[in-house]
Amino acid sequence: MSREEIEKLLRELRNRVLEGDDEGAENIVTRLAELRVDPKRIIEEALTPAMNKAGELYEVGEYFIPELMMAAEAFKAAFNVVKPLLKTDETGGRATIIIGTVAGDIHELGKNLVATMLRIAGYNVVDLGVNVPAEKFVEEALKHGAKIIGLSALMSTTMVEQRKVIEILEKKGLRDKFKVIVGGAPVTEDWARQIGADAYGRDAFEAVRKVRMLLGEEGSA
């Protein structure tokens, strides 16, 4: 296959991701993998630029949240094909972030929004879903070598679960290993301070800014 054709496929992949066409993106990326195109190149020349562009389009008011989330899903579909082909030291993204909605809470919209925005910002996001037991956050964070744990709670009662995760980290002597960011409708800055969380994200956009700050990347994006 000629160089031009591969470049054409990469461009096509970028467009599919940008348009939120997950099936299309998956097909092209599978094709590129079959052609033994370097997975790193696929990420750097197609997937990452597509997400950057989606972010830009949002900034100028051309894209709204649905387009962004669909682009993120197409990115995820394509990335899942590429991921097994990467060498272990290439995560294809930046730091890994564990995210989930705490035990007893089945609300996922806010958490999904945060996950999307973090993916757009280039982070490797491991989404544990909803109703996640406190211990599980810690286990998964260790397993994935995560830098940050994100805890979502939408109910006044399930907020206490956020404190539980931090208590487990402290008990296991792991508190310094991870930064903890909390969010959700009833959650406030004061609550975050009270339970000893490292940051509070008022919304998905602020969550990304706070994550950057926690990772010492402020101003890098």
Positions touching another protein (CB under 8 A) are 61, 64-66, 104-107, 109, 113, 131, 155-157, 159-160, 185-186, 188, 190, 203-205
Beta carbon nearer to another protein, 48 or 162: 162
Least gap, CB of 161 to another protein (angstroms):
11
Beta carbon nearer to another protein, 30 or 157: 157
Beta carbon nearer to another protein, 58 or 178: 58
Cβ–Cβ under 8 Å, residues 104 and 161: yes
Beta carbon nearer to another protein, 49 or 133: 133
3-state secondary structure of 95: coil
For 135, half-sphere exposure in the C-beta direction (CA atoms, 13 angstrom radius) is: 0
Least gap, CB of 20 to another protein (angstroms):
14
3-state secondary structure of 97: strand
Complete DSSP assignment for 131-184: SB-HHHHHHHHHHHT-SEEEEE--STTTHHHHHHHHHHHHHTT-GGG-EEEEE-
Least gap, CB of 21 to another protein (angstroms):
19
Least gap, CB of 117 to another protein (angstroms):
9
Least gap, CB of 164 to another protein (angstroms):
12
Cβ–Cβ under 8 Å, residues 100 and 128: yes
Beta carbon nearer to another protein, 78 or 181: 181
* Packing angle of the helix pair 65-82, 3-18 (nearest 10 deg): 140
